[in-house]
């Protein structure tokens, strides 16, 4: 009896094995599993029927049935894995992989990395201006058989001064007039400069000559206390030239080495204010010859070619010796440095990298170009 049951079970296993082998889909495999191992499956029925046999027969047939169940599970699992591999292979063939995408999941609505790169390049080129971009393209074309990337880097570095030592390293008494349009960070830059020279062990004095914006005087007084630098101001006077004269007199008598003058923000269209700036500049230059006068213009790095127009208009009134690019801690790349020097011979001396008084660094053309082109240091 036991041998007959085993023979029947072996025949059942053979039939199920053939069915599994001939199956074409995972759905067919699931049907085979249910028909053989489900509640009403063929193997399950055998398990229910052995309860009518004696104890020895139950043990032997029961053990044999469990082996058959395990074999069927194993065969189904192996076949499923074959189907899955085949499905993945076909899916990979039909799908295109975009190798330009980052391995990180992007938020919905964000630009493709290539689109972001193109936008950044367009912004940089727009800042540089057509003439500079055309020269860069010529360099690339003339060196297409070589490492043109390196050649472009070398060219960009070559058209900028390495470091503006005239302003960053001062060896004689100097008056630095911080000028520019409204909102470019003149007052904060004035405080940063004061700290920069104080850290060089220079005797520094700040003059609050922005008499139009009351908050400017308060702001500079706050910075003065924080960095421990003396300040000259006059809350009652509305005449910036008068405040400047008093401040320079005080500097002269105290033998101050560096005088930082914070001037009012002004648009070139305000003729009276521009004339007043000219008056202040020539007062400092002619009345106090002991001090070299240097005008430093603050330029918002995000303004691009508009900054060039601002400088050109200011040059009609005073001499601009150098510039500081402010707000470089944002998305701005500061491509304006190239036309500023090439077209107007005005170097960038400093970069403003934040709101803190210590967020001012000297401009290094080599390091700047490396950063602009994404070259590791």
Most confident option among 260-269, 274-283, 306-315: 274-283
- The larger pLDDT score, comparing residue 189 to residue 342, is at 189
Domain stops at, among 94, 116, 141: 94
Same domain, 234 and 341: yes
Q: Of the candidates 127, 153, 157, which has an alpha carbon nearest to the alpha carbon of residue 340?
A: 127
Q: What pLDDT sits at residue 29?
A: 86
Please name the residue ranges forming H helices in the chain.
Answer: 2-22, 26-37, 42-49, 55-94, 113-128, 130-142, 148-158, 165-168, 186-198, 214-227, 240-254, 271-287, 305-314, 337-344, 365-372
Q: DSSP states of 202-226 as a string?
A: --EEEEE---S-HHHHHHHHHHHHH
Same domain, 207 and 319: yes
pLDDT tens digits along 284-333: 999 999 999 999 999 998 888 888 889 999 999 999 999 999 988 766 67
Q: What percent of the chain has pLDDT over 90?
A: 37
User: pTM value?
Assistant: 0.65
Instruction: Flag whether pLDDT at 101 surpasses 60.
Output: no
Q: CATH number of the domain that 311 lies in?
A: 3.40.50.300
Average pLDDT of span 231-237 = 88
Distance in angstroms (rounded) separating the CA atoms of residues 193 and 262: 11
Q: What pLDDT sits at residue 177?
A: 97
pLDDT band at 228 (very low <50, low <70, confident <90, very high): very high
Domain stops at, among 49, 75, 94: 94
Cβ distance 161 to 341 under 8 Å?
Answer: yes
Same domain, 278 and 364: yes
CA dihedral 185, 186, 188, 192 (to 10 degrees): 120
Q: What pLDDT sits at residue 96?
A: 65
Domain stops at, among 37, 59, 94: 94
pLDDT tens digits along 43-93: 888 777 777 777 888 788 778 888 888 889 889 889 888 888 888 888 777
Same domain, 337 and 190: yes
Instruction: Flag whether pLDDT at 127 surpasses 80.
Output: no
Q: For the chain, what is the domain count?
A: 2
Burial group, residue 170, by CB count within 10 angstroms (0-12, 13-18, 19+) = middle
Same domain, 84 and 200: no
Cβ distance 198 to 229 under 8 Å?
Answer: yes
Q: What pLDDT sits at residue 47?
A: 77
Q: What pLDDT sits at residue 269?
A: 79
Same domain, 174 and 40: no
Residues 6 or more apart in contact with residue 110 via CB below 8 angstroms: none
Average pLDDT, the chain: 84
Most confident option among 42-56, 162-176, 353-367: 353-367
pLDDT band at 166 (very low <50, low <70, confident <90, very high): low
């Amino acid at each position: 009896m036991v041998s007959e049951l085993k023979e029947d079970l072996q025949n059942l296993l053979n039939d199920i094995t053939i069915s599994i082998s001939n199956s074409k889909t995972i759905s067919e495999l699931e049907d085979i599993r249910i028909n053989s191992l489900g509640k009403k499956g063929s193997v399950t029925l055998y398990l229910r029927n052995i309860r009518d046999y004696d104890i020895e027969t139950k043990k032997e047939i029961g053990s044999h049935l469990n082996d058959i169940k395990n074999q069927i599970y194993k065969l189904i699992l192996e076949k499923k894995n074959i189907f899955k591999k085949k499905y993945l292979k076909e899916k990979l063939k039909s799908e295109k992989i975009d190798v330009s995408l980052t391995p990180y999941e992007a938020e919905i609505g964000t630009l493709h990395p290539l689109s972001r790169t193109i936008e950044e390049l367009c912004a940089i080129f727009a800042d540089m201006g057509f003439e500079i971009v055309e020269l860069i393209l010529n360099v690339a074309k003339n060196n297409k058989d070589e490492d043109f990337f390196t050649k472009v880097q070398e060219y960009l570095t070559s058209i900028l001064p390495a470091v503006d030592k005239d302003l960053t390293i001062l060896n004689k008494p100097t008056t630095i007039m911080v000028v520019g349009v409204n909102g470019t960070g003149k007052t904060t830059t004035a405080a940063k400069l004061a700290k920069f020279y104080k850290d060089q062990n220079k005797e520094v004095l700040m003059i609050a000559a922005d008499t139009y914006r009351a908050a400017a005087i308060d702001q500079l007084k706050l910075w003065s206390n924080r960095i421990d630098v003396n300040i000259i101001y006059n809350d009652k006077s509305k005449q910036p030239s008068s405040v400047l004269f008093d401040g320079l007199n005080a500097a002269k008598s105290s033998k101050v080495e560096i005088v930082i003058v914070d001037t009012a923000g002004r648009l070139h269209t305000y003729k009276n204010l521009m004339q007043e700036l000219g008056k202040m500049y020539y007062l400092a230059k002619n009345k106090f010859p002991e001090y070299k006068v240097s005008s430093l213009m603050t330029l918002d790095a995000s303004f691009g070619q508009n900054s060039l127009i601002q400088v050109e208009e200011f040059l009609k009134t005073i001499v601009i010796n150098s510039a500081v690019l402010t707000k470089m801690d944002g998305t701005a790349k500061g491509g304006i440095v190239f036309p500023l020097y090439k077209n107007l011979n005005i170097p960038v001396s400093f970069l403003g990298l934040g709101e803190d008084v210590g967020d001012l660094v000297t401009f290094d053309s080599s390091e700047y170009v490396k950063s602009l082109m994404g070259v590791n240091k």
